[in-house]
């Protein structure tokens, strides 16, 4: 499986068989990242009303689009093109400094035997049910910029509890990201010992079940867009 960070909360995951899944595509003009030109078979959005997380209409091709919030409120799980996808309800920060908080969905899916969790646009400490939802994930796509998403103290609690093999930070401040209201990556990395942090120096990494680390490692990617 190849995992490519497009920017913000958007990733492209490509299976060994060539299936392509994109998470939480953004609006380029608002986010500051370049338009996504990758074709996808599946697009998962964490909600349908947040232009930083929902722009499946901008993805080329004719992907099957899944709203994680809708899934969480209905079937809880679907299998699309052979990919099992589960979702659970979440909220933006209840003390949001910029607007009233919106609902969204956190989700997880399995590709090539790897269990991948995406924190959507969660803004609060996860409760017991939400924490249990992420138990067993191999790769956690983690909101690493602080408010208005999950506070970093609460994110560290989640990571220490579920112990994913790999944590890939997302949704933090970069030179391209237009909003200036999130932390740079250093704030998140300060919670971990240096030997646990790996700078890939690229926007794409190849992951396999037999090459997973035995304990949690932080893998920092550059954005492709």
From the centroid of its chain, how far is CA 55? 15
Please, are residues 42 and 20 in contact by the beta-carbon 8 Å criterion?
Answer: yes
Please, are residues 208 and 172 in contact by the beta-carbon 8 Å criterion?
Answer: no
Task: Walk me through the domains of the chain, giving residue ranges and CATH numbers.
Answer: 2-220 (3.60.15.10)
Q: What would the mean pLDDT of 92-109 be, rounded to a whole number?
A: 76
Mean pLDDT in the chain? 94
Distance CA 179, CA 191 (A): 23
**In this predicted model, what pLDDT tens digit does every residue of 102-119 receive, in sequence order?**
789 999 999 999 999 999
Taking 90 as the threshold, does the pLDDT of residue 64 lie above it? yes
Residue 99: predicted pLDDT: 53
HSE of 125, CA atoms in CB hemisphere, 13 A: 7
**Which pTM was predicted?**
0.96
Distance CA 106, CA 111 (A): 17
């Amino acid at each position: 499986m190849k995992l490519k960070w497009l920017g913000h909360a958007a990733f492209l995951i490509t299976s060994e068989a060539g299936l392509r899944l994109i998470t939480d595509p953004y609006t380029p003009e608002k986010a500051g990242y370049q338009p996504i030109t990758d074709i996808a078979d599946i697009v998962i959005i964490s909600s349908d009303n947040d232009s930083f997380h929902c722009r499946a209409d901008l993805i080329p091709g004719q992907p099957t689009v899944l709203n994680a919030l809708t899934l969480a409120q209905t079937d809880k799980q679907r299998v699309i093109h052979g990919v099992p996808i589960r979702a659970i309800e979440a909220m933006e920060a209840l003390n949001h400094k910029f607007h009233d908080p919106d609902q969204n969905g956190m989700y997880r899916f399995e590709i090539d035997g790897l269990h991948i969790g995406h924190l959507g646009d969660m803004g609060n400490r996860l409760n017991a049910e939400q924490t249990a939802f992420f138990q067993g994930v191999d790769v956690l796509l983690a909101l690493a910029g602080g408010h208005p998403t999950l506070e970093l103290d609460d994110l560290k609690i989640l990571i220490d509890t579920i112990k994913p093999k790999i944590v890939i930070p997302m949704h933090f401040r970069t030179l391209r990201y237009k909003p200036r209201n999130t932390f740079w990556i250093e704030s998140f990395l300060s919670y971990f010992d240096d030997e646990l942090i790996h700078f890939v120096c690229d926007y794409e990494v190849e992951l396999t079940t037999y090459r997973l680390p035995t304990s949690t490692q932080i893998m920092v990617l550059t954005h492709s867009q």
